[in-house]
């Protein structure tokens, strides 16, 4: 049982790292696209980069993070995890991160259709959200304050 748990934990960490990398980088690409991607050649380059990052890296990483996280919870059932406030705060934070992921997908579609109406400043602000969520999640998992 411990071996399965450790493999799931390792898979979960790798998936979360890949997902977070995308959540940090995609809004930064949107900043550059909104500010400098007005020409047809540069806009096309940004669209390819954004689409590949979102579909090839971020989606699989998010699915693996959720699946491996669910596997970890299944292994830990009966350990009092459901009664732990820190676990619920972490879950709500991960749901918020998933919402951000989906929101970035919506922005991606707007850029692909040349319908973006947001400034680089807007995307700089969005770029801070994953950092705040990461701080909460890591604090809940490592410190378990509640």
Instruction: Please state the domain extents for the chain.
Output: 2-143
Question: C-alpha distances in angstroms, 14 versus 60, 77, 108?
Answer: 12, 23, 24
Is the predicted pLDDT of residue 146 greater than 90, yes or no? no
Average pLDDT, the chain: 94
1 falls in which pLDDT band (50, 70, 90)? low
Token pair in block for residue 16? 């979360």
Residue 92, pLDDT above cutoff 90: yes
Segment 135-143 shows an average pLDDT of 96
| pLDDT at residue 81 tops 80 | no
Report whether pLDDT(2) > 90.
no
- Residue 81 has phi, psi (to 5 degrees) of -60, -40
- Using the predicted structure, report yes or no on whether residue 117 has a pLDDT greater than 70: yes
Neighbours of 31 (CB within 10 A): 20
Q: Which two tokens stand for residue 25?
A: 């980088």
For the segment 8-44, what is each residue's pLDDT rounded down to a tens digit? 999 999 999 999 999 999 999 999 999 997 788 999 9
The DSSP annotation for the chain comes to -HHHHHHHHHHHHHHHHHHHHHHHHHHHHHHHHHHH--SHHHHHHHHHHHHHIIIIIIHHHHHHHHHHHHHHHHHHTTSSGGG-HHHHHHHHHHHHHHHHHHHHHHHHHHHHTT-----HHHHHHHTTHHHHHHHHHHHHHHH---
Q: What is the pLDDT of residue 35?
A: 95
Q: What does the pLDDT read at residue 102? A: 98
The pLDDT of residue 80 is: 78
Q: Which residues contact 81 (CB under 8 A, 6 or more apart)?
A: 73, 87
């Amino acid at each position: 049982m411990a071996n399965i748990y450790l493999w799931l934990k390792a898979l979960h960490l790798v998936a979360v790292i890949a997902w977070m990398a995308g959540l940090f980088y995609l809004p930064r690409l949107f900043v550059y696209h909104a500010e400098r991607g007005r020409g047809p050649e540069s806009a096309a380059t940004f669209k390819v980069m954004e689409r590949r990052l979102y579909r090839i890296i971020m989606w699989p990483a998010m699915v693996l993070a959720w699946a491996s996280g669910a596997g970890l919870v299944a292994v830990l059932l009966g350990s009092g995890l459901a009664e732990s406030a820190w676990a619920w705060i972490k879950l709500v934070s991960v749901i918020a991160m998933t919402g951000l992921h989906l929101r970035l997908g919506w922005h991606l579609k707007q850029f692909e259709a040349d319908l973006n109406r947001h400034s680089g400043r807007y995307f700089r602000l969005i770029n801070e959200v994953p950092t705040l969520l990461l701080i909460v999640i890591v604090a809940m998992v490592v410190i378990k304050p509640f």
